Amino acid sequence: MRGRHPRLFIDRVTDYEPGVYLKSLLCVSSELSVMAGHLPERDLFPGVFLPGSHLMQAFAQSGVILYQLSADPLTDDEVTLVGSVKSRFKGVVVPGDQVLFDVRAQRFLGNVFLFSASVTVEERTVAAFRGAMTRAKLTTVGPQLW
């Protein structure tokens, strides 16, 4: 993965089997910039924070890592694009929580990868996700805008 702070949300990959699963960890701190001003009377980690979800972003990043561990390496002119994510938020996440993502490969269809995850804090389910991604040549993405 080419991401880095502040856009990289995964703190650690704790276990994986290529083509099968990946377990990753996100440690929630009150010092994260996303926490500033979000319900200041009660610190809650945003599940949905426009324009996107930080938990959803961590899920997508975990899926990208699993894909890259499971498929042929990306060439210099390729990127992974997450095309769709379905989410269900079931509980709150607060500073001090260690969020565990259990990401599972569902299916490889050519360049398309389907994956899902259960998201827990101390064995309590806080979210569930399903997603799809593809690998694409940079030339098909369009011109760089900056």
Lookup result for tokens 């880095």: 4
Other C-beta atoms within 10 Å of 61: how many?
A: 21
Give Cβ neighbours of residue 120 (< 8 Å, ≥ 6 apart): 99, 100, 102, 126
Q: Which of 1, 12, 20, 38 is catalytic?
A: 38
Active site residue 5: no
DSSP state of 74: P
**What span, in angstroms and rounded, lies between the C-alpha atoms of 24 and 134?**
21
Burial of 5 (0-12, 13-18, 19+ CB in 10 A): exposed
Give Cβ neighbours of residue 2 (< 8 Å, ≥ 6 apart): none
Residues with catalytic function: 38
